[in-house]
């Protein structure tokens, strides 16, 4: 770790943060990095005044080593770009202090917005602060399989007819709806900046039984217990829904290989059909007993191919 990455957050993994795969859930990695991002912005003097909001608009994360209950995790980071005076980006890495392992790395971009007009506001960061906080992104923190270029933004009418009605293959394909609750929202009645769209989508909805967060366990024809573990995720937020809104997730595979799948999720407002966000995910097929990647089961590959939409990548 380079000398100028600074400690921004520390925590211990709690039992409640462990998901169905037996390790720290994606949501809680993001939560830790988000807190580090907020801490960096505060140190740089980037805060929201009345009538303004700070929004994390682009989040890339790469997972390196799974973490378990009781692990002490510390998040280090710094500033990586100031070329756009309306955007600020930071690099963060979460480390297990006991083992020295890098658990996950993040690249996050934030904007300061006017709440009423939704216009981006300029950021004022001094040259001294830039010199103090700027860091380089190490090779292991850069994307391996996902791109950081802006994705195409299709309309609801273009995507919706192509997505099957049911969730398929561990939830990486298909559709799902979620309701934005009042407790999810800020004082302006919009989804709070610290709450991700996927949280609204994947928590139990009214009428559903409470279950442990995380992908389902599956068993292949060889008897192996497996599931899909995320290796890289890139999420972009365009708009925040309001309390009472129904948001709809439409997702499909856009590519796959021997042991992995690349899926893309579009999140729309059901009422207005406005595009709220796009999320790309690369997941490996994980043998839950051997704790290693395995080839996608032969009986599953035809189903993935049948629903794979490479033209939407």
Q: Which two tokens stand for residue 278?
A: 């796009």
* Token reading at 82: 């100031």
Greatest mean pLDDT range, 56-60, 123-127, 184-188, 200-204: 56-60
Co-location of 110 and 190 in the same domain: no
- Per-residue model confidence (pLDDT) at position 292: 94
Q: Count Cβ atoms below 10 Å from residue 156 Cβ, excluding itself.
A: 17
130 and 214 co-located in one domain: no
Is the model more confident about 7 or about 216? 7
Span 211-217, average pLDDT: 70
How far apart CA 9 and CA 74 sit, in angstroms, is 6
Please give the Cα distance from 54 to 180 (Å, whole number).
20
In whole angstroms, how far apart are CA 262 and each of 50, 73, 198, 221? 40, 28, 17, 23
| pTM: predicted TM-score of the whole model, two decimal places | 0.91
**What does the mean pLDDT of the chain come to?**
90
159 and 270, same domain (yes or no): yes
- Return the bridge partners of 227, or none: 286
pLDDT of residue 1: 39
> What is the tens place of the pLDDT at every residue in 287-305?
999 999 999 999 999 989 9
Question: Where residue 2 falls among pLDDT bands split at 50, 70, 90?
Answer: very low
- The span from the CA of 82 to the CA of 84, in Å, is 6
**Nearest C-alpha neighbor of 165 from the set 250, 246, 247:** 250
Both 253 and 182 in one domain: the answer is: yes
80 and 180 in one domain?
A: no
pLDDT at residue 13 greater than cutoff 90: yes
Backbone angles phi, psi at 41, to 5 degrees: -60, -40
* pLDDT level of residue 170 (50, 70, 90 thresholds): low
pLDDT tens by residue, 75-128: 999 999 767 789 999 999 999 999 999 999 999 999 999 988 989 999 888 888
Given this model, what pLDDT does residue 211 score? 52
Q: What is the dihedral of CA 179, 181, 186, 188, to 10 degrees?
A: 80
The pLDDT value recorded for residue 209 is: 54
Per-residue confidence band for 149, with pLDDT thresholds at 50, 70 and 90: very high
- Rounded to whole angstroms, the Cα distance separating 68 from 99 reads 12
pLDDT at 182 over 80: yes
CATH of the domain at 307: 3.10.129.10
Confidence of residue 204 (pLDDT cuts 50, 70, 90): low
- Between strands 218-219 and 102-114, the pairing is unpaired
Of 275, 294, 16, 27, nearest to 156 by C-alpha is 275
Joined together, the tokens standing for residue 4 give: 């100028």
Q: Which of 111, 142, 173 marks a domain boundary?
A: 142
Res 69: pLDDT: 96
How far, CA to CA in Å, does 128 sit from each of 71, 108, 121, 264?
A: 35, 22, 21, 40
Beta strands in 31-101 (DSSP E): 52-63, 72-81, 88-96
Judgement on whether residues 134 and 154 belong to the same structural domain of the protein: no
* Distance, first Cα to last Cα, the chain: 34
Q: Which of 142, 165, 197 is the last residue of a domain?
A: 142
Based on the fold, state whether residues 160 and 137 are members of the same structural domain. no
Using DSSP, state whether 284 is helix, strand or coil: strand
Beta bridge pairs of residue 287 = 226, 292
The number of folded domains in the chain is 2
Domain boundary among the residues 103, 122, 142 is at: 142
Cβ count within 10 A of residue 136: 12
171 and 280: one domain? yes
Do 303 and 156 share a structural domain? yes
pLDDT > 80? residue 151? yes
Q: Based on the domain organization, do 134 and 183 belong to the same domain?
A: no
In this structure, the answer to whether residues 281 and 170 fall within a common structural domain is: yes
pLDDT in tens, 257-282: 999 999 999 999 999 999 999 999 99
CA atoms of 267 and 272, how far apart (whole Å): 12
Domain with 213 in it: 149-313
C-beta atoms surrounding 82 within 10 Å: 17
Does 106 share its domain with 171?
Answer: no
Angstrom distance (rounded) from CA 63 to CA 182: 32
What are the pLDDT digits (tens) for 50-65?
999 999 999 999 999 9
């Amino acid at each position: 770790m380079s000398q100028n990455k600074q400690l921004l957050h520390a925590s211990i993994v709690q039992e409640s943060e462990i998901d169905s795969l037996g390790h720290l859930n994606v949501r809680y990695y993001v939560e830790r990095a988000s807190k580090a991002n907020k801490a960096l912005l505060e140190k740089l003097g980037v805060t929201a005044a009345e009538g303004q909001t700070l929004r994390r608009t682009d989040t890339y994360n790469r997972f390196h080593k799974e973490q378990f209950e009781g692990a002490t995790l510390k998040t280090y980071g710094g500033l990586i770009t100031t070329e756009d005076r309306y955007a600020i980006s930071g690099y963060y890495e979460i480390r297990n202090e006991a083992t020295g392992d890098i658990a996950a790395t993040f690249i996050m971009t934030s904007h300061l917005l006017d709440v009423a007009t939704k216009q981006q506001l300029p950021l004022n960061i001094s040259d001294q602060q830039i010199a103090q906080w700027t860091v380089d992104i190490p090779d292991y923190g850069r994307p391996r399989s996902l791109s950081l270029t802006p994705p195409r933004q299709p309309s609801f009418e273009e995507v919706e007819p192509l997505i099957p009605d049911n969730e398929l293959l561990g939830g990486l394909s298909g559709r799902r709806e979620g309701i934005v609750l009042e407790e999810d929202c800020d004082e302006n009645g919009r989804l709070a900046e610290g709450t991700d769209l996927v949280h609204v989508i994947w928590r139990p909805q009214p009428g559903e039984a409470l279950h442990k967060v995380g992908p389902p366990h599956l068993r292949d024809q060889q008897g192996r217990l497996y599931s899909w573990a995320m290796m890289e995720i890139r999420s972009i937020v365009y708009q925040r829904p309001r309390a009472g809104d129904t948001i709809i997730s439409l997702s499909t595979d856009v590519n796959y290989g021997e042991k992995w799948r690349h899926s893309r999720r579009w999140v729309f407002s059901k009422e207005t059909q406005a595009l709220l966000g796009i999320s790309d995910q690369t997941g490996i097929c994980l043998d839950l007993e051997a704790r290693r990647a395995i080839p996608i089961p032969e009986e599953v590959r035809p189903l993935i191919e049948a629903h794979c939409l490479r033209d939407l990548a």
